[in-house]
Structure 1
Amino acid sequence: MTKNITVDDVTHTQIDLLARAWSVTPGEAVHRLVEHFQQSSPAAAPSPPPGDRVAVHAIYDGVRTPGLYDPATQTLTITEGPAAGAYRTPSGAASAVLQALKPHVKPNRNGWGFWALDDTGELLQTLRRR
C-alpha cells in the first residue's frame, strides 16, 4: 500500500537531490534516511571496550571482503579489495561492496545483516546497539 506525505519545497528538493545522488527513487531515499536514523539510536546493549575493533567479512558474488568494525563509533573499514576504505555505517560499507562488484545492482543493503564476525560467523547484528 502506498501512502503520501507532504513536505515543503526545500525538503522536496533535498530528497530529490539525495535520490539522484544515490540513483534511487525519492521514496527509497527517504527509506535510507529513516534506516540510518534507526541505526543511530542510543546504546542499550553492552559493547566491546572502545578501540577494540572486530574482524568482519562479507561474501558477495563469491568474493570475500574483509573489514574491521569499531563498536564504539559503529564505523566499518573495508581493509582490502575494490571498496577498501572507511565508512560511517556498516550499511554504507555494504553498499560500497555492491557498487564495486556489481554496479548495475541497486546497492541498498542492511549492513547489519550483510557483514559476519570472523570469529563466530554470526551476523554483525549480534553486536548492534539497541
Structure 2
Amino acid sequence: MPEQSPSLRTELQELMLVAVGAVPGALLRWQFEVLLQDRDVLVNVVGSLILGLLLGLPYRPRVQLLVGIGFCGSLTTFSSWMVSSVDLIYSGQTLAAFGLIGMTLGLGLGGAALGLWIGRRVYALAIKPSAPPR
C-alpha cells in the first residue's frame, strides 16, 4: 500500500510550529547583532549546542520542528558567516578569514558534541529507575 502524503492540516500545523519557533530565534539573533555587533560565531555555536542537545534526547517531531528548525534555523547563520569570511579575504586578511572558518567549525562541532553529551546525560538520568524506599 503506498504511503499517504500528510494532510494539508498536518502540513499547516508543522509550518506553524516552525514559524512560532522562528520568531524568538530571529529576535535573539537580532539582539546579538545589536548588542554585540556581528557575533556570527556565538549564535552559530549556541545553535549547534541546542541542536546537539535535541539529538541527545528522544526524537520528538514537534520539538524538532519548533526548536530545531524554527528557533535554531532563524538563530544561526551560514550565509553571514561566509560573507564575513569572504570580506576578510577581499580586505587582505586571508589568515583571519581562515582562522574565522576554523574557529567557527571547531567551536560549532564542540558545541554540538557538548549538547549531545548533555542531552544523553539528561535522558539517562530521566529514565534511571529510582531507588526503592528504605
Q: Same fold (TM over 0.5)?
A: no
Larger radius of gyration: 2
| Richer in strand (by share) | 1
| Richer in helix (by share) | 2
What's the TM-score once normalised by structure 2's chain length? 0.30
What's the TM-score once normalised by structure 1's chain length? 0.31
